[in-house]
Amino acid sequence: MSKPIVIAVDGTAASGKGTLAKKLAAHFHFAHLDSGALYRLTALAVLEAKGDPNNPDDALRGAQTIDLTLAGGPSIRTDVIGRAASQVAAIPAVRAALLDFQRGFLARPPGGSPGAVMDGRDIGSVIAPDATAKLYVDARPEIRAHRRWQELQAMGIVRDEGDLLRELVARDLADKTRAVSPLIQAPGAGLLDTSDLGIDAAFAAALALVSPKVEGALKDRHRG
């Protein structure tokens, strides 16, 4: 059996990386995992147990008791959970506890799919440094804050856009400067700035960046 094809999509909060990862997975018929959901589920477990997301023992217990059935639901999409997710994500024991699940997903994509797309912060740098193709997605902070504001509004959560911008910048800084698995543009990752692109144009740009490598790997599989 040849190794599964992996597309690593990393980037800042609300940069569009999740939407692009999902669309890439659908395009290539690959499995998809939003790794941020694992940290959000950990945060949810900690807060529901009345724990402290900055406390390593509470956070590890949370990572060990995540309920994957909630991954696609709205309960982990709030800004409160996003902030707590960033806190638990800075704790090395939490990242270690979630590592096997992520590597296992890439080694054996569900449904017997020939490949997987995973989005997050450290996929191209730590989880899958030898990924077939890597993307780093970013956008100007004001644009990302506006997107987050729209997302929350659609969920019935009304927030001040200026506050969201400040929180987003703080979260970027925490994610980029933490000691373990900081957010970086991984070696070999193509940069995609979605600031001035709609979904269709952003997807076309993403496809142009990853397709040569992914198509090449798919051909090798058919030959091999």
Smallest separation, CB 23 to ligand C5P (Å): 16
The two tokens of residue 49 are 């147990």
Identify the residue among 8, 35, 58, 145 touching ligand C5P (CB under 6 A): 35
Instruction: State in angstroms the smallest separation of the CB of 3 from ligand C5P.
Output: 21
Question: Does the protein bind ligand C5P through residue 39 (CB under 6 A)?
Answer: yes
Q: Which is nearer to ligand C5P, 61 or 101 (CB)?
A: 101
- Which residue, 193 or 221, has its beta carbon nearer to ligand C5P? 193
Phi, psi torsion values for 136, nearest 5 degrees: -120, 115
Using CB under 6 A as the binding rule, whether residue 85 contacts ligand C5P is answered as: yes
Nearer to ligand C5P, 44 or 214 (CB): 44
Question: In the range 117-136, which residues lie near ligand C5P by CB under 6 A?
Answer: 120-123
For ligand C5P, the closer of residues 23 and 40 by Cβ is: 40
82 is a site residue for ligand C5P (CB under 6 A): yes
CA separation for the pair 135, 140 (Å, rounded): 17
Q: Which C-beta is closer to ligand C5P: that of 82 or that of 115?
A: 82
* Interactions with ligand C5P, residue window 89-118 (CB under 6 A): 89
Alpha carbon distance 145, 182 (integer Å): 21
Residues that bind ligand C5P (CB under 6 A): 13, 35-36, 39-40, 82, 85-86, 89, 120-123, 171, 175
